[in-house]
Amino acid sequence: MPYCSLDSSSPSRAVRVHALVQRATLDSVTSGGVLVRVAADALVQAWPVIERDTQLAQVLRAGLLHE
């Protein structure tokens, strides 16, 4: 079971992280507000002003979902 994988064949080069790694990371963070702000800032920087790449836009939107 891979804990992290990179799809280098995809134009968006998506990185997928196993739910156990996500949970362990969230559990170890003491300042959730800082983590949320850093993640939001990174997303804003990665998001293009004009969405020409529909696959990238779809991947970015999918990353907004929290399970």
Q: What are the pLDDT digits (tens) for 5-56?
A: 877 777 666 677 888 888 888 787 776 678 778 878 888 888 888 888 887 7
Distance CA 17, CA 15 (A): 7
Domain count, the chain: 1
| E strand or H helix at 55 | helix 54-62
Does the residue 39 lie in any domain?
yes
> What is the extent of the structural domain holding 16?
4-62
Q: Are strands 15-17 and 4-6 parallel, antiparallel or unpaired?
A: antiparallel
Q: Which of 13, 6, 5, 20 is nearest to 60 (CA)?
A: 13
Does the residue 67 lie in any domain?
no
Beta strand spans in the chain (E): 4-6, 15-17
Does the residue 44 lie in any domain?
yes
Contact criterion met (CB below 8 Å) for 49 and 60: no
Please indicate, yes or no, whether the overall pTM of this predicted structure exceeds 0.75.
no
